[in-house]
Structure formats: C-alpha cells, structure tokens
Amino acid sequence: MHDVDSQAVPPPLPPNSVPRHRGSTAQTLLYVLVILALCGLLVEGCFIYHLYRNNKTTEEVIQHHSILRPNPTVKPPKPMAHLSAGVYAPLENGVMIWDDQAQPVVYKMEHKKRQGQLIIQKEGYYSIYAKVCYSEDYLMFTHSVVKLTNRYPDAELELLRSRTYAASTSYRKHGLSNSYLAGVFHLFKDDIIFVRVSNHTLVRRTDAAESFFGAYMH
C-alpha cells in the first residue's frame, strides 16, 4: 500500500485562446461600416450637386423668359386703368396728358393719349381717383375730374373737384402740395372721363408716383 501525497499541486490548465475568426469578423464589419458611410457621403454630395444644377437651370429659364417678356402680368377680372404723368405737359385748356411710357395699365377701357381721356367700354359702377402734385406759388389751384356723355352732348359734368386758394398775397405759400380726388360713379358705355387743372404750369410731372389718374369697375 502506497501513501499518496495530499499536498501535490495539480498540473496547470492550458491558457484560454481567443479564436482568431472572431477578431477578423469584427474587423470586416468595421470596414463595411466605413465603406457604407463613405458611400452615403458620396450619394449626398451627388444629390446636392444635382439640386444646385436644377435650381440654376430654373433661374436661367426664368431670366430667359423675363427677357422675352419683361412684364408678365395676370389679367384683371374687370375693366380698369391706371395712368401716370410724365414728359407730356397738360393741354392749354388744363386737361392732363398721361405718359404712355410710365408702364400704364389699361384693360377693357380705351385711352385716348392725345386727349388725356379714358373711354368706358362696359356699363357699371366705377371707382375713379386722381392725384396731382403742384407748386403752391399762386393764389388759386383747381383740380377736377370731368365726364362727357352722349346723354348730355353739350355739357361737361364735373364729377369731382378740389379747389385751393389764398385770400391775399400775404397768405401765398412757396412749396409743394397735393390734391387727391376719389369717388364711385355709375358710368355708361362710351362715357368719357378726364382730369383738368387750372394753372397747369404748376403741376409737377417729374415723378409718376406724384400725379396719376385711374378707374376700376366694381
């Protein structure tokens, strides 16, 4: 019978070795993620480039059409007109002549340029407005909107009137003033409306925004 030494140390276990295929799999996955990220950046860059090119092409088309048609407009639903003062001086009788170069708007109404008249083409209620800017260096200034109609062939009918005057020369002003008229009237086909001023040499015509005349149907 042999004695067994109870203090004997068991032999050491072999070290745990990590399988190499796990490390290679993680590295491959990392490469795939990097490639996908680069592809995403490339796709995003292509998208931004094409978007920029499309916007530029659209702007070029708009500019091209703007050159061909400098003032594309939408037709108004009803007759209307807006005229502005310009290079033409009023007639000797004080009738204002409106500039046809200051982008006038005339739709379904007739504008007699040399007479300064608007001719109604459709019966209805119209808002009429007129404004003039003038120098205040005279005792009296009158501004009115006048109508001619076949119903009263020998009469001029004043629809609107503004009158400014000073009692004496001591009240005479030296500056600029404005006269604005507006109202609603029933007009018939072929009725004529125009603007008349007294002392027409006082009217300022250098700015189209200062003196104008128009009408529109309700």
User: How does pLDDT run across 37-69, given as a tens digit for each residue?
Assistant: 888 888 888 878 777 666 655 555 555 554 445
DSSP 210: T
Say yes or no to pLDDT of 175 above 60.
yes
Domain ranges of the chain: 20-72, 80-217
Say yes or no to pLDDT of 195 above 60.
yes
The pLDDT of residue 39 is: 83
The pLDDT of residue 66 is: 47
Question: In angstroms, what CA-CA distances link 190 with 89, 117, 128, 147?
Answer: 26, 11, 16, 11
- More confidently predicted of 174 and 46: 46
Cβ proximity of 80 and 214 under 8 Å: yes
DSSP result, 23-56? HHHHHHHHHHHHHHHHHHHHHHHHHHHHHHHHHH
**113 Rama class: left (phi>0) / alpha (psi -120 to 50) / beta:** alpha
CATH number for the segment(s) 80-217: 2.60.120.40
Dihedral of CA atoms 91, 97, 100, 103 in degrees, nearest 10, equals 150
The pLDDT of residue 111 is: 95
Distance in Å from the first CA to the final CA of the chain: 132
The pLDDT of residue 103 is: 79
The mean per-residue pLDDT over the stretch 82-90 comes to: 90
- More confidently predicted of 15 and 138: 138
Question: In angstroms, what CA-CA distances link 166 with 1, 38, 138, 162, 169?
Answer: 152, 84, 8, 14, 7
Residues 115-136: tens digit of each pLDDT: 999 999 999 999 999 999 998 8
